[in-house]
Amino acid sequence: MKLIDIPPVWLLAALVIAWVQKTHYGYGLSFGPVWADLLGGILVGGGLILAALAVFEMRRMRTTIMPHQTAARLVTSGIFKRTRNPIYLGDALFLTGMILYWDAVLALPLIPIFVWIIEKRFIEPEEARLRRKFVAEFTRYAQQTRRWV
């Protein structure tokens, strides 16, 4: 069986693990009363907004949002002026927010694991393709804009 290798599948897997942890292996651990719910909600909302802004900008520039495809254009405008990977950053914020909201304390290590997987499986190959296609332009962009934040 061939798995669909796209970031939302990895995000969903991490969310399922976090949910199982909080549901079946909570061990009475908690981040605290209200602050975790509030911060979790802010991070979830911020993650969704980041991803939406990125998708909007990529559509506006008429290039693909699919990670294993070669981009038609190098998008450096909009939210891409602040981060080279706003969708992945949004995914990481969403995961962090859900872990906080669910009080899935033992799932916290999923955040750096998720970021590492996304970086190795998607960001590095994408950037290699962009570097080959948009040589000088991508080099300039990478020097001016950080990968994450």
Tell me the per-residue pLDDT of 35-56, one tens digit each, with 9 for 90 and over.
899 999 999 999 999 999 999 9
Share of the chain above pLDDT 70, in %: 98
Bigger pLDDT: 73 or 68? 73
- What is the spatial distance between Cα 36 and Cα 99, in angstroms, rounded to a whole number? 9
Q: How confident is the model at residue 25 (pLDDT cuts 50, 70, 90)?
A: very high
- What is the spatial distance between Cα 119 and Cα 138, in angstroms, rounded to a whole number? 17
Sign, CA torsion 121/118/89/143: negative
Q: How confident is the model at residue 33 (pLDDT cuts 50, 70, 90)?
A: confident
- What is the spatial distance between Cα 30 and Cα 119, in angstroms, rounded to a whole number? 29
Mean pLDDT of 107-131: 97
pLDDT of residue 68: 86
Q: How confident is the model at residue 90 (pLDDT cuts 50, 70, 90)?
A: very high
- The model carries a pTM of 0.94
Please say if the pLDDT value at position 1 is more than 90: no
- What is the spatial distance between Cα 27 and Cα 7, in angstroms, rounded to a whole number? 30
Q: How confident is the model at residue 2 (pLDDT cuts 50, 70, 90)?
A: low
Q: How confident is the model at residue 34 (pLDDT cuts 50, 70, 90)?
A: confident
Mean pLDDT of 11-27: 96
For 21-59, b/e burial (b = at least 16 CB within 10 A) is: bbeeeeeeeebeeeebbebbeebbebbeebbebbeebbe
Please say if the pLDDT value at position 28 is more than 90: no
- What is the spatial distance between Cα 103 and Cα 124, in angstroms, rounded to a whole number? 32
The distance between the two most distant Cα atoms of the chain, rounded to a whole number of Å, is: 53
